[in-house]
Chains A and B, each alone.
Chain A
Amino acid sequence: MQHLIKDGQTVADDPWTLVEADGGIPDQGPVILPLAYYREQRDEWRASGRTVGVWLNDAEFAEDVVDLLDELELVALHFPKFADGRGFSKARLLRERHNYDGEIRAIGDFLPDQAFYLKRCGVNAFACRNEQEAGTTARLLETFSVRYQADVNARPLFEQR
C-alpha cells in the first residue's frame, strides 16, 4: 500500500500501479513501467491506449527518456538510497531543460526531510513508505520560506532584494 502525497495533498486512491523490473502487470489501469521494458514493448503499449508512465533506475538519466516524454503522463525517479542525490538533478533537467509537465514522482528510499529540496527540483508527487512519513512529507514541503537560488518554481532571491 502506497502513501501518496501529490501537489501537497494526500491522495487516498492513487490509480497508478508501480511495476517492478521483473514484476507482473495488472490488466487494467495506469501503470508505471520500467523504462527499458517500455522501450522494448513501446508499440504494443501505444496501441493499447492505456495510460502509461515509466520509472528510471539509478543508472538511467533524463536524456534516456527525453524522446518519450510526450507520451508519458508520469515519470518516476527511483531512489536506491536516500543519500543518492542524482534524482535531484534528473528532476530538474526533466522540468527545466526538457520542459516536461507531467507528474514527476519520487519512489524508493527518499526521506520526508528531502521533500523540500525535491519539490524545488520539480518533483510533485511522493510515494512514501508509510502513513506517518506521508504526513511528515506533506508538512515538510515548505520547511523554508526563503530560497536563495533559482529553482523550477521561482527566480533567485537576489532579484527581490
Chain B
Amino acid sequence: MYVYDSFDQRVVDERVAQFREQTERYLDGQLAEDEFLPLRLQNGLYVQRHAPMLRIAIPYGLLSSAKLNKLAELTETYDKGYAHFTTRQNVQFNWPALEDVPDILAGLAEVQMHAIQTSGNCIRNTTTDQFAGVLRDEIDDPRPWCELIRQWSTFHPEFAFLPRKFKIAVNGSPSSDRAAVRFHDIGVELNRNEAGELGFRVYVGGGLGRTPLVGQLVREFLPKEHLLTYLDAILRVYNLQGRRDNKFKARIKILVKALGVEEFTRRVEAEWAHLKDGPGTLTEAEIERVARHFVDPDYVELDDADALLEEQKAQHPGFARWLDRNVYLHKRPGYAAVTLSLKKVGYAPGDCTAHQMRASAKLADAYSFGELRVSHEQNLILADVRQDQLLDLWYQAKEYGFATPNIGTLTDVICCPGGDYCALANAKSIPIAESIQARFDDLDYLYDLGDVDLNISGCMNACGHHHIGNIGILGVDKKGEEFYQISLGGDSGLNARVGKIVGPSFKADQVPDVVEKIVQVYVDRRREDEPFIDTVERLGLDPFKERIYATSH
C-alpha cells in the first residue's frame, strides 16, 4: 500500500486547515451558501435529506486495518456507528454535523486518508479492480498508476472547476474488467506494444446517468511515461470545450458524442502535441518510487492446498459454498483472495457497522497482512489469505456476519443509498434490495442461477449502476408515487453494454415477482452451463417481456 511521505502528509494536513477556515467563514456569513457549496463538495460534503453526508475517499479501494479502525472510531464519535461503502470504492458517513467535519478530516489525516475531491465538478477518486496485484493474468499492477493519477489529480490547478464531475478507472487484466473502465469519463487499460513495453489503451466518454454511453477508444497505445500529459490534454480539451450551459449535457461523453470520436481524438492529439515530453512527463525514478509501495507482501512458499480443501469441503457443505462463491484465485500457489460479503439479508447493501469494521480489520491482521480492499460491488476483500487458513477464516467471518456465500449472485445486489438518505433520489432503493434478497433466500436455488448482476439506483444519476446490471432496477417518480423500471442485458465487463428497458414500470411490491419471472424464463430456456447474461443475449427481450407482462388469471 502507498505510504505517505512528508509531502503527501502536508497536503492532507493543509487541506484540513483550509476546510476548517472555510467552514468558519461560512458559519460567519462571509461565504454565501452557493459559494460554500463547491468548496464543501470538493471535500465530499453534501447536504442531504436528514443531515450532511460526508464521502471519504478510499483511493482505488485500498484500506489497511489501521485505516478501518480509524473509520470505526470516527463513525462512533461523530456519526451513528456505521458507514456505507459505495460503488466507487469510497465510504460515506450519513449523519455528521457540519461543525464536526473539520475534526473528522483531521482524524482521517492521522491515518493518511482524506475526502479530497470525492464530489464536485472535479477529478474524483480513481478506481480499479479489487483483485489488482494478485490476479494470475495481469499485464501489470494497476495500483501504482492509480496512485500516480491520484497525486496528479489532487488539487490540479487547472481542472478543479470542470463542466461536470470526472471519473477515471484503470484496469490491468486482459481477461476481465471489474473496474468497468468503459463506463468512465476516462478508462485506462494497461497494455503492451509489440516490443513488450508497457503502456495504456485509453477510452474516453463512457458513463451512466441520464445518457448511458460506452467509452470510445481514443488511443490504442500510450507509452507509460506520457500518461499524465495525455490526461492533461484530454482534460484541457474538455475544460475549454465541454458544455456549461446545461448540466445534463456537461459530461465529457456528450462532447465526444457531439464531435464524434475522430474529431475529439484529433483535438486531444493536437493539444497533446504541445504537452508531450513537457515537465509532466513521468520519470523512471518516479514510476519506480511509487511502484515500490506495491511490491508483494512476505508470502510463504506454499503449494496449493487442493487436497486439504477437498477434505474440508466434504465435511462442511457451507464452507464448500463459500469457497465456491466468495473465494477467488490468486497468483501465488497456496493463497486465495476472499470477499467478505456486506450483503447480508436485512442489511442495506454496502452498510458496515463500527463493530464489523473492527472485526474485518482484525481478520485482515490475522489472515491478510493487515490490508483490505473495497470492491465496486460494495464488499470487502482480503486479498492474500493462505488456503490452509481459509476454514478458520470462514468460521470467524460467519460469526461476524460476513460469510453470506452470495458473491456474484442475484442477492449480491449493488445499491445506492436511495430515497431513505439521498436528497436526489426519486425512490427508495434499499427496501427493494431487501425484498429481492428475502425472496431469493434459498441458497441452493441461488447457486443454481449462478452469476447474475442485479443493480439498483434510486434515480437516473445511476449511483447503483443500474444500466450495467444484468438486471437493472431504476427508481422513478410518477406523480409523486415511487415506481421501478426494469432493464435487462447490461454488462459492466469486457462486453461493456447498457441494458434495455423491458417496458412499463412497476410498484415496489411487484418488483420481487418480476425478478422471479425473469429468472424463471432463464431457468426454462437456458442451455447447459449458459450464464444468465448469455441467455438474455441469445433470446433477446421478448420472452422475458411476455412472461413479465402476461395477464394473470
- What residues make up the interface of A, taking CB atoms closer than 8 Å to B? 61, 82-86, 88-90, 92, 97, 111, 113-114, 116-118, 120-121, 132, 136, 143-151, 155-161
Which residues from chain A contact B161 at a C-beta distance below 8 Å? Answer: 82-85, 88, 114
Contact across chains for A159 and B283 when beta carbons are under 8 A apart: yes
A132 to B25, CA, bound (A): 11
Within the assembled complex, what's the spacing in Å between the Cα atoms of A62 and B435? 56
Q: Point out the residues of chain B lying under 8 angstroms from A149, CB to CB.
A: 152, 156-157, 280
**In whole angstroms, what is the CA distance A118 to B236 when docked?**
15
Chain B residues, CB < 8 A from A84: 161, 244
B162 within 8 A of A: yes
Please indicate the chain A residues that have their CB under 8 angstroms from the CB of B240 in the complex: 61, 86, 89-90
The 9 closest A-B CB pairs, nearest first, are A85-B161, A120-B157, A150-B279, A158-B286, A117-B157, A148-B151, A88-B158, A146-B10, A146-B7
A161 contacts B5, CB within 8 Å? yes
Residue ID in chain A nearest B274 by CB atoms: A97
B275 vs chain A, min Cβ distance (A): 9
Asked if B154 is at the interface of the complex by the 8 Å CB criterion, the answer is yes
Bound state CA distance, A86 and B121, in angstroms? 13
Would A156 and B158 count as touching, CB distance under 8 A?
no
Q: Do B280 and A156 touch (CB < 8 A)?
A: yes
A143-B14 in contact (CB<8A) = yes
CA distance A92 to B156 in the complex (A): 12
List A contacts of B15 (CB < 8 A): 144
The answer to whether A148 and B152 have CB atoms under 8 Å apart is yes
CA distance A146 to B157 in the complex (A): 12
Interface contact B155-A145, CB-CB below 8 Å: no
Task: Tell whether, in the assembled complex, residue B35 and residue A111 are in contact, meaning their CB atoms are under 8 Å apart.
Answer: yes
- State A85–B39 Cα separation when bound (angstroms): 14
Q: Given the complex, which residues of B lie within 8 Å of A61, measured CB to CB?
A: 240
Quote the shortest CB–CB distance from B378 to chain A (angstroms). Answer: 30
CB within 8 Å of A: which of B138-155?
A: 151-152, 154-155
Q: List 5 A-B contacts (CB under 8 A).
A: A88-B160, A111-B35, A113-B35, A151-B157, A156-B279
Partner of B283, one of A90, A146, A158: A158
Q: Select from chain A the residue with minimum beta-carbon distance to B151.
A: A148
Interface presence of B278 (CB below 8 A): yes
New A-B contacts (19) at CB < 8 Å, excluding given A146-B11, A149-B152: A82-B35, A83-B38, A85-B159, A85-B161, A85-B239, A86-B239, A88-B160, A88-B161, A89-B239, A92-B158, A113-B22, A113-B35, A117-B155, A136-B25, A136-B30, A146-B10, A150-B279, A160-B7, A161-B7
B51 in the interface (beta carbon within 8 A):
no
Tell me if A155 and B158 are in contact (CB < 8 A): no
**Contacts A150-B280, A155-B279: A89 and B158 contacting too (C-beta < 8 A)?**
yes
CB distance from B60 to the nearest CB of A (A): 16
Task: Give the complex CA separation of A97 and B10 in angstroms.
Answer: 31
Are B280 and A113 neighbours in the complex by a CB distance under 8 Å? no
Q: For the complex, give the distance between the alpha carbons of A88 and B155 in Å.
A: 13
Q: Which residues of B contact A151 (CB under 8 A)?
A: 157
A88 and B159 CA atoms in complex are apart in Å by 8
The distance in angstroms between the C-alpha atoms of A151 and B8, with both chains bound, is: 18
* Cβ distance A88 to chain B, nearest Cβ, rounded Å: 5
- Quick one: which of B492-511 are within 8 Å of A by CB? none
Q: A88-B161, A159-B283, A161-B289 are in contact. Are A82 and B38 (CB under 8 A)?
A: yes
Asked whether B514 is an interface residue with its Cβ less than 8 Å from the other chain, the reply is no
Q: Assess the A145–B14 pair: CB atoms within 8 A.
A: yes
B282 within 8 A of A: yes
Complex contacts, A145 vs chain B, CB 8 Å: 10, 14
Given contacts A82-B35, A82-B38, contact A121 B157 (CB under 8 A): yes
Residue on B with the closest CB to A87?
B161
Give A150 to B286 CA distance when docked, in angstroms: 14
User: Known contacts A84-B244, A85-B239, A86-B239: does B157 contact A113 (CB below 8 Å)?
Assistant: no
Tell me how far the C-beta of B43 lies from the nearest C-beta in chain A, rounded to whole angstroms: 11
Residues of the B chain whose Cβ atoms lie less than 8 Å from the Cβ of A156: 279-280
Decide if B18 is an interface residue (CB 8 Å cutoff).
yes
- Taking CB atoms, residues of chain B closer than 8 Å to A150 are 278-280
- Which residue of chain B lies nearest to A62 when distances are taken between CB atoms in the complex? B240
B31-45 Cβ-contact flags toward A at 8 Å (1 or 0): 000010011000000
- Closest residue of chain A to B279 (Cβ to Cβ) is A150
Nearest-neighbour CB distance to chain B for A93, whole angstroms, equals 8
Q: Which residues of A contact B289 (CB under 8 A)?
A: 158, 161
Bound-state Cα–Cα, A89 to B280, Å: 16
Closest chain B residue, CB of each to CB of A120: B157
Interface flags for B1-22 (1: CB within 8 Å of A; 0: not) read: 0000101101100110010001
Q: Which residues of chain B come closer than 8 Å to A143, judged between CB atoms? A: 14, 18
Establish whether residues A144 and B5, one from each chain, have CB atoms under 8 Å apart when the complex forms: no
Name the one of B14, B39, B285 contacting A113, with C-beta atoms under 8 angstroms. B39
**Residue from B154, B162, B282, B285 in contact with A148 in the complex, judged by beta carbons closer than 8 Å:** B154
CA distance A97 to B39 in the complex (A): 30
How far is the CB of A143 from the nearest CB of chain B, in Å? 5
Which residues in window 194-241 of B have CB below 8 A to A? 236, 239-240
Chain A residues lying within 8 Å of B156, measured Cβ to Cβ, are 148-149
CB distance from B223 to the nearest CB of A (A): 17
Contact call A146/B14, Cβ cutoff below 8 A: yes
**A114 cross-chain contacts in B, Cβ below 8 A:** 160-161
Per-residue CB contact flags for chain B residues 260-280 toward chain A (1 = under 8 Å, else 0) read 000000000000001000111
Residue of chain B at shortest CB distance from A153: B157
Complex alpha-carbon distance, A160 and B285, angstroms = 11
In the complex the two chains form, what is the Cα distance from A136 to B283 in whole Å? 37
Chain A's closest residue to B37 (CB) is: A83
Residue of B nearest to A161 (CB): B289
B157:A88 contact, CB within 8 angstroms = yes
